[in-house]
Amino acid sequence: MELKQLLVLLLVVIITAGFGFWVQHVPGESKKSIPWPQRAPFLGGGQPDTHAWSRFHIRYYPMTLLLIAFEMEMMFMYPWAVVYVSEGIKALAEMGMFLGILSIGILYGWREGAFKWQ
Amino acid sequence: MAVTWLRRLANQAPVPVFPVVGIAGEAALEALYLSPAVTVVQSPKRARALAVMGSIDYRDQQALRRVHGQVPAPRVTAWCSAMAVPQELSGSAIVVDATDQLGQQIQQAVHSLDAGQQSSDPNLCPDQPPAPWKGVGDGHGGEGMMGGKPYGRPMAMPEDDLRDGLQLDPLVFSIGPFSPLLPPGMAAKVTLHGDVIAGWEVLSRPYELTLPAVFYQALEQPVAVADLELARAAFHIRRLAAALQLNGLGAHARRLRHHAVELKPGQSIDDLVNARVLQSLRWVAGAGKGIVHDENWIRLRGPAARAGGDARDARLNDPAYVALGFEPVVQKQGSCAARWKQWRDEAGQALTLAAAAAKARAMSSPSGAVESPVGELTKSTPPVDISDLMPSLLVGLEWSEAMSVLASFDMAAVRYTDVIQLQGGGE
Amino acid sequence: MTSTLLIASACTVLLALLVGAYCVAAIDGAITARVTGQTPGNPLLIPLQNAARLWHAPHNETETPDRPALRLAPVLYLVLAAMGLALVPWSRDFVPVDLTTGIVFWGAIEPLATVLVFLKGWAPNAHFPLLGAYRYVSLGLSYILVSMFVLIGVALPAESLQISAVVDTQAELWNVVRQPLGLPLFLVVGLGVSFWGPLNFIDADDLHGGAASEEAGRVQLLWSTGRAAMLLAFSAIAASAFLGGWHGPWLPGPVWLILKTLAVVVLLVILGHTLPRVSPERFLTIAWVILLPLSFLSLAGAGVEALL
């Protein structure tokens, strides 16, 4: 049964992707080259000094690390969610503790200013 | 058959136009915003037509050519300007004199261009790469990454960050003079560290602003206070519309622009724009940013000064206004949000004043100074440019905050001398 | 028989995607017209006219772009939306893709959407799209967790990660009543994943249109179709997770699903026209300090409720 589901998914993916590429394909586009002035990045008539791609300063960097910590935690949560009702109050207490610790972590991070643009 | 059907459907949609606004081009831009035949877009790359409105300073001709080249060909150039059409475009550009016809004529021109009845504009810039490939192979690596020219434009060199001292690449570019984010004619060299502004150098000042003619007339002769106040309300409402648009509320901005042309005395400002929308705009985008400190404070004028608690207002010296019980509204904080609030309150006050003045048939009495929407207008010293205050205000702000701060000022100087000669000719 | 069902399932999803994207554009046009007080034309035709115009508009390309990324990003974003929509149950018997891990799958679609939106801004090698792209990633980091906690909440009473099981638990009482915090928090995610209204960090007007400032013609058409499709897919998932999906009296299941989905779309579009865009830094703080603890609270509430 799961195989049928995946087949439908595959079919949907292939057709949608095909549609996407078809829409983007402009006949005769490859022959007509786009002039360089048009290609330049639009800066309201201004010009760039440097290339756009650079070592960009990601000011939310601490958040990326926090996200990884939480995403790991999500992996435990999926199976937990399935057995939650059958395990009953024990599961609630366990996850309650887990979330409690994480919440304290968030509070600590907030106090340290981790949620600010660095 | 199918193709022509699709083409007919496409021709019913408004045509995207990129506006290039020059000196005295403001009225044409407003007309363009209201035209159902076109949509004004933020980037020439998405446009089919370029609308040149007002005269472009000589120093900006090269930038105009660059922007022209960024509208994908086949394109249309519409010329609504006292300037002569450049020679290369003289065969293809459409010249429009009446601003209310601009939108429609652009749409027609684009349709006939698509139907093959008209040829596209030639490119004004030479088709050469800005900095040809000098590395090895054609990837993005190649030799000489550090400060060299692997291909195309040079790579950035690392420098100390403003906030945390990390060594990363600054993003340096010049923006303007035709960026919709800046007042027309203003150009700046921007250095970004991440999305925080680390440097803002004004390369050229904004073009002088042309106020509605009634303010110039009020210097010379008595004019109806109701007319003055309606013009003031419309001016502030258009500035508010720009702030709304910048912060993602384009539909509300459009609504305000439509209302601005048909204001009636006594209208309530809350009928024009939802008070809660404006309040959330102030709270979300403008609170606590862009406060002018120290000695520069004195250079602020009009609403910007009153937004910081300075109740200077030339209207207080006019007996007609005194008779109407006029008291200037002021805010305290002097921030970006306070200036937006000031525009809103002054527009609302102007509409109320206009109703009272229309009832009393009040006429202003010329006394050498008129309170224009951007500050006190006198014959000898019209309001001057304050764009040089921006670097101290913008450095250290995030990009989106900085753009909000820019949209809370009337930076341009006011155009004066030649407007007086033309007086009576304009609307 | 099975192959007929297979084809029928795929066709339903694709048709729903196309018609749904059109509906999103039409609803957006109608609400814009209501706000502005101007009716520029027949609101049902405007999306088609705009699409036709973009179809014929000339193409643009930037200086030395990352071509594969440029081509792939809009296509894959649309594919993600289609996969999301495929997960939605239309009735008790008709679920195009009824994965036992449906919620996990949707949970994978959201971060992948962040990756693709970033790629879209990165690919043209131009300044404003790049700024928009990096800004958007900060948004993506912030809403993913909220979304997952809220969705785990609806999986608890179902004892399953299957979306059809989640819908089944709502026969008597919808999750929006049982877990009142869930839907409002999830709507924030919807605005984020389709970068709509207050969370449009990448195609924003303060960047000349951001990633959209360097594209034209058919690429623009595809990108805006993908965005509308993502809003639709999100709304359908939200309707299934919180509004009882196909459950409802008198009318057949699929009709209820469509009505509920469109209701969520209307709500999101109205929110998009009412709230100004939040500054990225401020949203980051709001998301981590307010929304995330609220989603913990919602999950704890859902846990207690499931045991009662």
Q: Name the average pLDDT for chain B.
A: 85
Cβ contacts of A47 on chain C, cutoff 8 Å: none
B174 and B83 housed in the same domain: no
B186 CB neighbour count, 10 Å cutoff:
25
Give the HSE-up count for residue B357: Cα atoms under 13 Å, Cβ half-sphere: 25
CA B411/CA B37 separation, integer angstroms: 31
Q: Which of residues 117-176 of C touch A (CB under 8 A)?
A: 122, 124-130, 134, 137-138, 141-142, 144-145, 148, 152, 155-157, 159-161
B193 and B221 housed in the same domain: no
In a mutational test of the C interface, the residue from A4, A6, A12 whose CB has the highest number of chain C CBs within 10 Å is A12
Q: In CATH, what number is assigned to the domain containing residue B19?
A: 3.40.50.12280
Q: How many domains does the structure of chain B reveal?
A: 3
Please, what is the angle between helix C127-158 and helix C182-193, to 10°?
A: 150
In a mutational test of the B interface, the residue from C125, C199, C208 whose CB has the highest number of chain B CBs within 10 Å is C208
Cβ contacts of A28 on chain B, cutoff 8 Å: none
Measured in angstroms, the CA of A13 and the nearest CA of chain C are apart by 6
Nearest to C74 among A8, A20, A83 (CB): A20
- The band of B133, judged by pLDDT with boundaries at 50, 70 and 90, is low
Q: Is the pLDDT of residue B138 over 90?
A: no
* Residue A76 domain-assigned (yes or no): yes
Mean pLDDT across B138-143: 47
Cβ pair B13:C52 closer than 8 A: yes
Closest CA to B37 of B46, B25, B49, B45: B49
Nearest to C161 among A2, A82, A85 (CB): A82
Ranking A70-79, B6-15, B149-158 by mean pLDDT, the lowest is: B149-158
Ranking B50-59, B213-222, B415-424, C2-11 by mean pLDDT, the lowest is: B415-424
Whether A47 and chain B come into contact, CB under 8 Å, resolves to yes
Counting one residue from chain A and one from chain C, the pairs whose CB atoms sit within 8 A come to 189
Q: Is the pLDDT of residue B49 over 60?
A: yes
B181 and B241 housed in the same domain: no
In the prediction, which pLDDT does A15 show?
93
- Tens-place pLDDT, residues B169-218: 888 999 989 999 999 999 999 999 888 899 999 999 999 888 888 988 88
Cβ pair C159:A2 closer than 8 A: no
* Residue A69 domain-assigned (yes or no): yes
Complex-level ipTM: 0.91
Cβ contacts of B195 on chain C, cutoff 8 Å: 131, 134-135, 280
Measured in angstroms, the CA of B243 and the nearest CA of chain C are apart by 10
Cβ pair B10:C52 closer than 8 A: yes
Could you list the residue range(s) of the whole structural domain that residue A68 is in? 59-118
* Residue B139 domain-assigned (yes or no): no
Domain ranges of chain C: 2-307
Give the burial class of C217: count Cβ atoms within 10 A of its Cβ; 0-12 exposed, 13-18 middle, 19 or more buried. Answer: buried
Counting as contact any 3 or more CB pairs under 8 A, the partners of C are A, B
- Tens-place pLDDT, residues A37-65: 888 899 988 888 888 888 888 888 888 88
* Residue B129 domain-assigned (yes or no): no
Cβ pair C213:B399 closer than 8 A: no
Cβ pair C56:B114 closer than 8 A: yes
Cβ contacts of A12 on chain C, cutoff 8 Å: 10, 13-14, 82-83, 86, 96-97
Nearest to C205 among B7, B192, B246 (CB): B246
Q: Is the pLDDT of residue B294 over 50?
A: yes
* Residue B97 domain-assigned (yes or no): yes
Q: Which of residues 203-262 of C touch A (CB under 8 A)?
A: 208, 213-214, 217-219, 221-222, 225-226
In the prediction, which pLDDT does B81 show?
87
Instruction: Report residue B171 as tokens.
Output: 């993003």
- Which ranges of C159-216 would DSSP assign to H, the alpha helix? 163-168, 175-178, 182-193
In the prediction, which pLDDT does C128 show?
93
Cβ pair B161:A57 closer than 8 A: yes
* Residue B383 domain-assigned (yes or no): yes
Q: Is the pLDDT of residue A89 over 60?
A: yes
Domain boundary among B114, B149, B177: B114
CA C204/CA A21 separation, integer angstroms: 25
CB C187 within 8 A of CB C271: yes
B287 and B344 housed in the same domain: yes
Strands B369-372 and B375-378: antiparallel
Could you list the residue range(s) of the whole structural domain that residue B391 is in? 213-422
Q: Mind spelling out the 3-state secondary structure of chain B? A: CHHHHHHHHHHCCCEEEEEEECECCHHHHHHHHHCCCEEECCCHHHCCEEEEECECCHHHHHHHHHHHHCCCCCCEEEEECCCCCCHHHCCCCEECCCHHHHHHHHHHHHHHHHCCCCCCCCCCCCCCCCCCCCCCCCCCCCCCCCCCCCCCCCCCCCEECCCCCCEECCEEEEECCCCCCCCCCCEEEEEEECCEEEEEEEEECCCCECCCHHHHHHHHCCCEHHHHHHHHHHHHHHHHHHHHHHCCCHHHHHHHHHHHCCCCCCCCHHHHCCHHHHHHHHHHHHCCCCCCCHHHHHHCCHHHHHCCCCCCCHHHHCHHHHHCCCCCCCCCCCCHHHHHHHHHHHHHHHHHHHHHHHHHCCECCCCCEEEECCEEEECCCCCCCCHHHHHHHHCCCEHHHHHHHHCCCCCCCECCHHHHHHCCCCC
B86 and B199 housed in the same domain: no
In the prediction, which pLDDT does B128 show?
81
In the prediction, which pLDDT does B404 show?
92
Locate the chain C residue with the closest alpha carbon to A63. C141
Q: State the 10-residue block means of pLDDT for chain C, 308 residues long.
A: 82 92 94 87 88 89 86 94 93 88 92 94 91 92 90 90 91 88 93 92 90 88 94 95 88 91 95 91 88 90 87
* Residue B150 domain-assigned (yes or no): no
Overall pTM surpassing 0.90 (yes/no): yes
* Residue A24 domain-assigned (yes or no): no
Q: In CATH, what number is assigned to the domain containing residue B219?
A: 1.10.645.10
Three-class secondary structure of residue A54 per DSSP: coil
Q: How many domains does the structure of chain A reveal?
A: 1
Q: Is the pLDDT of residue B139 over 80?
A: no
Domain boundary among B204, B235, B260: B204
* Residue B140 domain-assigned (yes or no): no
Q: How far is CA B173 from the centre of its chain?
A: 20
Please, what is the angle between helix C67-86 and helix C102-122, to 10°?
A: 160
Cβ pair A49:B173 closer than 8 A: yes
* Residue B264 domain-assigned (yes or no): yes
Measured in angstroms, the CA of A114 and the nearest CA of chain C are apart by 9
Cβ pair A54:B169 closer than 8 A: yes
Whether A98 and chain C come into contact, CB under 8 Å, resolves to no
Q: Is the pLDDT of residue B148 over 70?
A: no
DSSP C181: T
B282 and B310 housed in the same domain: yes
B194 and B253 housed in the same domain: no
B100 and B225 housed in the same domain: no
Measured in angstroms, the CA of C214 and the nearest CA of chain B are apart by 6
Q: Is the pLDDT of residue B145 over 80?
A: no
B334 and B192 housed in the same domain: no
- Tens-place pLDDT, residues A66-76: 888 888 888 88
B235 and B174 housed in the same domain: no
Cβ contacts of B71 on chain A, cutoff 8 Å: 38
* Residue B149 domain-assigned (yes or no): no
